[in-house]
């Protein structure tokens, strides 16, 4: 037995993390941090309590009700005054306190149960409200993702059309409308060249990351404006040309 207890696994002292305690000095993996279940629940609890108070769902306890010290003292005093003395004053007081104390204990238990039931009801309603809001938010995110996907697909379609027009203009295979669209789009883009140059200079010369991020955001917004404007030009001229062609066909 002595030989067995002398093995390294039974040695006392040292730090955890070696031998059969390997891994015990590391935090558990694959588990969420405590409090995640009720994260963000406090505002819903406050709103529910406010609603309960507003509509009279919160119980109102009389200061002389059973389970309160004033109520116990009142019942004790009334019993003591009306009771026929037996023995000395202490014996009479003890007899008078028995029933009021039982009522006090019962009242305390009932009030505790009422508070527990009320707290459970508030938390349950708060969780339901939060789950409803979370579900609505998830639905909105899903809808927004679908909208973004449709917009991205439309943008790609427009981008392909623009590249086709540019290629036709470069190769000289386009018609007069093609050149008109290309020239109008290039002229529109050229109007923003000074502002783009200014923002590029600010981004390159600014060391503050926050300020540089602001300049980059402004540049991205400007580039998006240019793209939208060019798309409008191409689509407007294209639709106008189609309209004119349909008109001439009717004639």
Low-confidence residues of the chain: pLDDT under 50: 30-35, 37, 237-251
Q: How far apart are CA 43 and CA 134, in angstroms?
A: 14
Q: How far apart are CA 166 and CA 158, in angstroms?
A: 12
65 neighbors 107 (Cβ within 8 angstroms): yes
pLDDT at 60: 67
Q: Which helix (H) or strand (E) holds 214?
A: helix 209-250
Q: How far apart are CA 251 and CA 249, in angstroms?
A: 5
Q: How far apart are CA 102 and CA 72, in angstroms?
A: 9
Q: Which helix (H) or strand (E) holds 24?
A: none
pLDDT at 248: 36
pLDDT at 163: 80
Is 0.75 topped by the overall pTM? Answer: no
């Amino acid at each position: 037995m002595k030989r067995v207890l002398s093995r390294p696994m039974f040695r006392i002292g040292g730090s955890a993390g070696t031998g059969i305690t390997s891994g015990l000095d590391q935090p558990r993996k694959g588990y969420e941090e405590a409090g995640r279940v009720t994260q963000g629940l406090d505002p819903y609890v406050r709103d529910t309590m406010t609603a309960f108070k507003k509509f009279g769902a919160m119980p109102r306890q009389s200061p002389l009700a059973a389970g309160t010290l004033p109520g116990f003292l009142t019942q004790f005093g009334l019993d003591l005054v009306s009771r026929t003395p037996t023995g000395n004053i202490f014996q009479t007081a003890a007899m008078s306190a028995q029933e009021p104390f039982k009522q006090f204990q019962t009242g305390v238990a009932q009030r505790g149960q009422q508070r527990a039931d009320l707290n459970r009801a508030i938390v349950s309603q708060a969780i339901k409200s939060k789950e409803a809001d979370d579900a609505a938010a998830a639905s909105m995110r899903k809808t927004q993702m679908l909208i973004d996907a449709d917009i991205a697909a439309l943008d790609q379609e427009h981008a392909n059309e623009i590249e086709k027009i540019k290629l036709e203009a470069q190769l000289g295979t386009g018609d007069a409308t093609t050149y008109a669209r290309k020239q109008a789009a290039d002229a529109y883009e050229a109007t923003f060249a000074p502002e783009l140059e200014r923002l590029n200079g600010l981004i390159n010369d600014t060391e503050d990351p926050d300020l540089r991020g602001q300049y980059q955001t402004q540049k991205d917004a400007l580039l998006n404006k240019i793209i939208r404007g060019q798309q409008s030009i191409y689509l407007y001229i294209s639709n106008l040309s189609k309209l004119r062609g349909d008109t001439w066909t009717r004639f």
